[in-house]
Structure 1
């Protein structure tokens, strides 16, 4: 017989795997009859073995294994951020996250889950609100995006367009970067 926490975490995985959209921590806590803090702890434990479980501003998401990911290292101005993100979503990609490699603090990342022009517009409006600046600004504009798509061809198109706009520094197959860390996000 499974321990209650183990059974609950199994149920969380099942809910997230079958979800069509992000599931909030509050929703999981209501469905499972536990506090939000218990859910946060369960998610942390699950992520240790399921790096395909990501947190977004809208809730938790399991990245579907039928998709492919590529990491794009890019550099551009603040004014070009909207163009960069629109390239990715207009060609069929989802911008899963943004991260920087800081010489002192190491990897600093933030989930984005940007899938369409409206998501890009909302993100840009949040940046323009003046509360925060883009993460890339702490590393002289250099930053990375994990981009998910249904096919290698879509990722190739995105890569080509980023190269054409002179934003791309390098592109790396997601699996080659994360296999060394035993991740299987995509």
Structure 2
């Protein structure tokens, strides 16, 4: 299979699959290395395909009706509570972003929609002994949050305010 055909197959997997798919899973199905898939996805993105890498794997970027940017500040050990509050209020955490003095805007795509997603994120953070982007900025960060109704946005802001996480 040539590289163009392989990239077409990757696109097909991402558009027809019900859930995100990891580079390793794609590589296994296509009988190529994981790095080949990573390179192919990078080329697809360079061509304008709105593919995002999430905790669960690659997927096409979701289109949301309503989105808001919320500024938060908290300690790393409050992360699970912050994320859980957002999803329990009806939000999807699309990303986390910080303003870094050297690199400018740094963004991590999250696509956290459920408490199970929160647990997966926090579990991988601990397992990999990772660091949050917000650790670079003394806890200050933004989230793009998707929601369906204005009442959900109000509920998200209220619960974050009550916890002391909403930066105002």
Which interval holds the TM-score relative to the shorter structure? 0.7 to 0.9
Q: TM-score, normalised by structure 2?
A: 0.79
Which residue of 78, 94, 97 maps to 1:96?
A: 94
2:40 corresponds to: 42
Separation of aligned partners in 2, 1:42 and 1:169: 39
Q: TM-score, normalised by structure 1?
A: 0.72
CA RMSD of aligned residues (A): 2.8
Shift of 1:45: 1.6
Q: Which moved more, 1:129-138 or 1:90-99?
A: 129-138
Shift of 1:152: 4.0
Whether contact under 8 Å (2:64, 2:146) holds in the other structure is no
1:24 corresponds to: 22
- Contiguous gaps of at least 5 residues in structure 1: 171-186
Which residue of 59, 62, 66 maps to 1:61?
A: 59
The 1:147/1:14 distance shift into structure 2, 3 A limit, reads: farther
1:183 corresponds to: none
1:80 corresponds to: 78
Whether 1:109 and 2:84 are equivalent positions in the alignment is: no
1:136 corresponds to: 134
User: Partner of 2:58: helix, strand, or coil?
Assistant: strand
Shift of 1:126: 4.6
Aligned residue pairs total 166
The 1:10/1:147 distance shift into structure 2, 3 A limit, reads: farther
Query: Could you give the per-residue CA deviations for residues 53-84 of structure 1, whole angstroms, max 9, x where no partner exists?
Result: 21123211113325543322211233432221
User: Partner of 1:34: helix, strand, or coil?
Assistant: coil
